[in-house]
């Protein structure tokens, strides 16, 4: 008797364990008899069908399928075929389930139960559909890009020129590509003067020879001669024992691009003039006159005639460099080019980082409505920022830190644009403080003036023009006073 009671307790414990497993399973367990009548379900069914278990137990799967509670019915197929069935099932609540239904037979081979297990894969299928849509969109964008590239507006060298102003500029440059005339590229910062200079070199007969770029704003005046002309062995302390070729000799038979040429001090302008005129020079520390076959292309975002008038740029050098002056229009004057450039740069970014990023129509609309004060450089930076910071391959929004504002008023109503600004009020009290020295007062005043003009003009170049000094001077003072 005791053994029977012990066996019963063990059996009851096992039944309780099985019941606990049945009820706590995250996946649905759906059990029917041999006629398809539901006899047991676990709580997962309520999530899938929106019905309580008591509303399902006792009902036939044939009726529930007709009522679209779930369809197709895996249990029905098992009853009809006598074999296990796996399928994707839809429910009346909009769920998609991965269902596996298995027949259960007694010892005589008679079907007595059908047990179904269902896993909710709605989110997985939604993601799969979104991925397929994005892949189709990517292919569509790539097809559009290839179509744009076949148009006459794409040069094949990375320059998009569908707009009339840029086409006119490139037409002039094509005419002079095969001669050695010096070209001066003019335009705002970021319009792509370096890319145009390289494109001009590739169109010329010098394309097989070097294209050397010298940023005149980045080279210290003391190093200008040694960088441009090179130097002989032992020309100065710290020089290489073997001497060094300058950029002029490295560019022999090719092109030397002088970017930001307006930033050269007058002393260096004089030395550059001789090279541009005669194509001759001496290395630092040498006496031998050397000759080079170099084509010069110069570029600036400054108003050179104004600098000549102010005595900050040599008139004779200006005339030598501006034999063929060509204005590169800003991006806001090239709306026809903008959409092609967006596709082109996104293609480059995707290839660079092995991405598959695409822009939503809303994002493209925002990009097209923006006036791009930073021109092509700003466009490239914004697109790369969108690509690398987006969590999804489908970019639906412009992040807050990259928000674009159309037509921002540089001087909103009520903003002071004269020197009667608030920063000066602070200086009035400083002047009355007798312990401050003149040098400190001058520094405070200078800091306030530059801070105000940087807020108003938002450009070191424009501030420099307003104050009649060089851009490098304003940049240096901004760093000195910690101004943005």
> What confidence tens digit (pLDDT) does each residue in 97-108 have?
999 999 999 988
**Each residue's pLDDT tens digit, 278-335:** 999 999 888 899 999 999 999 999 999 999 998 999 999 999 999 999 999 999 999 8
What six digits make up the tokens of 218? Answer: 């980045």
Pick the CATH number of 2-120 from 3.40.50.2000, 3.30.450.20, 3.40.50.300, 3.40.50.720: 3.30.450.20
What is the reported pLDDT for 437? 63
299 neighbors 216 (Cβ within 8 angstroms): no
**Each residue's pLDDT tens digit, 31-47:** 999 999 999 999 888 88
64 Cβ neighbours under 8 A, 6+ residues apart:
38, 56, 70, 73
Q: How would you classify residue 483: left for phi > 0, otherwise alpha for psi between -120 and 50, otherwise beta?
A: beta
Domain boundaries along the sequence of the chain: 2-120, 164-328, 422-481
User: Is it the case that residue 434 has pLDDT exceeding 50?
Assistant: no
What is the reported pLDDT for 404? 61
How far apart are alpha carbons 276 and 228 in whole angstroms?
Answer: 12
How far apart are alpha carbons 148 and 335 in whole angstroms?
Answer: 15
464 neighbors 473 (Cβ within 8 angstroms): yes
**Each residue's pLDDT tens digit, 236-285:** 766 677 788 999 999 999 999 999 999 999 999 999 999 999 999 999 88
What is the reported pLDDT for 147? 59
- With a threshold of 0.75, does the pTM exceed it? no
DSSP 37: B
Polymer length of the chain: 484
Q: Average pLDDT in the 378-399 region?
A: 87
Q: What are the backbone dihedrals phi and psi of residue 104, each rounded to the nearest 5 degrees, phi first? A: -120, 125
Query: Which CATH superfamily, name and number, covers 164-328?
Result: P-loop containing nucleotide triphosphate hydrolases (3.40.50.300)
How far apart are alpha carbons 389 and 120 in whole angstroms?
Answer: 31
Cα 87 from chain centre: 43
Pick the CATH number of 422-481 from 1.10.3470, 1.10.287, 1.10.10, 3.30.70: 1.10.10
Alpha helices in 25-60 (DSSP H): 44-49, 53-56
- Give me the percent of the chain exceeding a pLDDT of 90: 46
């Amino acid at each position: 008797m005791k053994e029977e009671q012990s066996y019963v307790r063990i059996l009851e414990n096992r039944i309780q364990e099985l019941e606990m497993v049945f009820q706590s399973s995250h996946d649905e367990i759906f059990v029917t008899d041999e006629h398809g009548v539901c006899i047991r379900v676990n709580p997962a069914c309520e999530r899938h069908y929106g019905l309580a278990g008591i509303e399902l137990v006792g009902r036939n799967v044939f009726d529930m399928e007709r009522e679209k509670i779930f369809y197709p019915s895996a249990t029905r197929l098992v009853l009809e075929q006598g074999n296990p069935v796996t399928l994707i099932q839809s429910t009346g609540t909009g769920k998609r389930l991965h269902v596996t239904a298995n027949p259960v037979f007694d010892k005589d081979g008679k079907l007595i139960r059908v047990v179904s297990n269902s896993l909710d894969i709605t989110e997985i299928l939604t993601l799969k559909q979104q991925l397929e849509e994005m892949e189709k969109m990517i292919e569509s964008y790539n097809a559009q890009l290839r179509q744009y590239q076949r148009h006459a507006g794409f040069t094949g060298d990375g320059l998009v020129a569908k707009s009339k102003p840029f086409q006119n500029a490139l037409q002039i440059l094509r005419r002079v590509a095969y001669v050695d005339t010096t070209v001066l590229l003019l335009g705002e910062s970021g319009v792509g003067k370096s890319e145009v200079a390289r494109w001009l070199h590739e169109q010329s007969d010098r394309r097989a020879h070097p294209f050397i770029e010298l940023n005149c704003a980045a080279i210290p005046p003391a190093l200008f001669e040694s960088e441009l002309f090179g130097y002989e062995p032992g020309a100065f302390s710290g020089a290489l024992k073997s001497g060094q070729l300058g950029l002029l000799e490295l560019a022999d038979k090719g092109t030397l691009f002088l970017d930001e040429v307006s930033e050269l001090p007058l002393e260096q302008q004089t030395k550059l003039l001789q090279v541009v005129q005669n194509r001759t020079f001496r290395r630092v520390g040498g006496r031998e006159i050397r000759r080079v076959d170099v084509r010069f292309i110069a570029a600036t975002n400054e108003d050179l005639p104004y600098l000549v008038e102010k005595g900050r740029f040599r008139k004779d050098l200006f005339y030598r460099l501006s034999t063929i002056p060509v204005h590169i229009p800003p991006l806001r004057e090239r709306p026809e080019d903008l959409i092609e450039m967006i596709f082109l740069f996104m293609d480059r970014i995707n290839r660079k980082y092995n991405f598959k990023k695409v822009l939503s129509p809303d994002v493209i609309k925002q990009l097209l409505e923006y006036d791009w004060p930073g021109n092509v450089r700003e466009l490239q930076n914004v697109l790369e920022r969108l690509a690398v910071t987006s969590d999804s391959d489908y970019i639906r929004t412009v992040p807050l830190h990259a928000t674009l504002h159309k037509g921002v008023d540089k001087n909103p109503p009520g903003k002071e644009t004269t020197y009667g600004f608030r920063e000066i009020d602070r200086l009035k009290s400083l002047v009355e403080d007798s312990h401050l020295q003149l040098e400190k007062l001058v520094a405070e005043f200078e800091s306030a003036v530059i801070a105000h003009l940087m807020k108003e003009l938002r450009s070191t170049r424009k501030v420099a023009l307003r104050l009649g000094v060089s851009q490098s001077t304003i940049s240096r003072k901004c760093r000195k006073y910690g101004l943005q």
